[in-house]
Amino acid sequence: MNNEPTQKQNDVKKEEVLKTPVVPTPQPQTPAIGAEISEGFNLLPSMSDEEKIVQKTKSTVSIGSALSLIILVIIILLVVGFNIITKQILNSRKEVLFSIENSVNQQIDKIVSNEEIVDRAVLYSNVKKGAFSHKAIIEFLNQMSSKVGNIQMRSVSISEDLKFSFTGYATDLEKVSKLWYMFGIDGNIESINLQSVGKRENNVTFTFEGELNGKNFFNK
């Protein structure tokens, strides 16, 4: 008896299975060779409006940075080029200035040398005019001694102010006296003194001291 209800339940399940429609399983279709794929799938999610604004801002900043960098490089190149050109101009002008300074210094040296030569010539001329001739004075004393005769000159000293000392020998006192007289009346002598006289066995020694007249003995 228990088998009958079980049999009925199995019959009901079979009927239910038969009533359920069978859905066929779709088979994947393989596209033909050379056929074009009309549509594709985008695996990346689309950006929101905020992300688009941020991306645009980043692009703008990158372009601005690149332009700023290019402008900076151009400015640096211009500055470096300007410095190089300026240094070249400065060096060339320094060379010109150096050559001019050398020329000027050479001219100054010539002028100084010429002035020194002129000064020396003027000084020599002045000294020559203000100096007296020792040779002329000695020749004058020799002439005076020759006029008296038997007078031998031993030494003569002459100072810058034309004061002189004349020492010599004579055969006797009369010669010394005559020489003293001639000195006294000669216009080339301002003053004359018989400083000393001495009698020796063979001659007489004497020393005259006096001052000459400069206008007749100074160089002209």
Mean pLDDT of 170-196: 90
Mean pLDDT of 43-72: 68
With the C-alpha atoms ordered 61, 63, 67, 70, is the resulting torsion angle positive or negative? Answer: positive
Contact in structure between 193 and 184 (CB atoms under 8 Å): no
Query: Could you give the angle at which helices 134-148 and 173-185 cross, rounded to 10 degrees?
Result: 130
H or E segment to which residue 149 belongs = none
Cβ atoms within 10 Å of 141's Cβ, excluding its own: 22
Report the helix count and the strand count for the chain, using DSSP H and E. Answer: 4, 4
Top-confidence residue, 54 or 3: 54
- pTM of the model as a whole: 0.42
Contact in structure between 166 and 176 (CB atoms under 8 Å): no
Cβ atoms within 10 Å of 175's Cβ, excluding its own: 20
Mean pLDDT of 16-32: 51
Region 134-216: CATH code: 3.30.1360.100
Q: Which of 155, 145, 158, 168 is nearest to 211 (CA)?
A: 158
Query: How far apart are the C-alpha atoms of 119 and 132, rounded to whole Å?
Result: 21
pLDDT of residue 167: 92
**What percent of the chain has pLDDT above 70?**
64
Phi, psi of 213 (to 5 degrees): -85, 115
Q: Which of 150, 142, 141, 140 is nearest to 204 (CA)?
A: 150
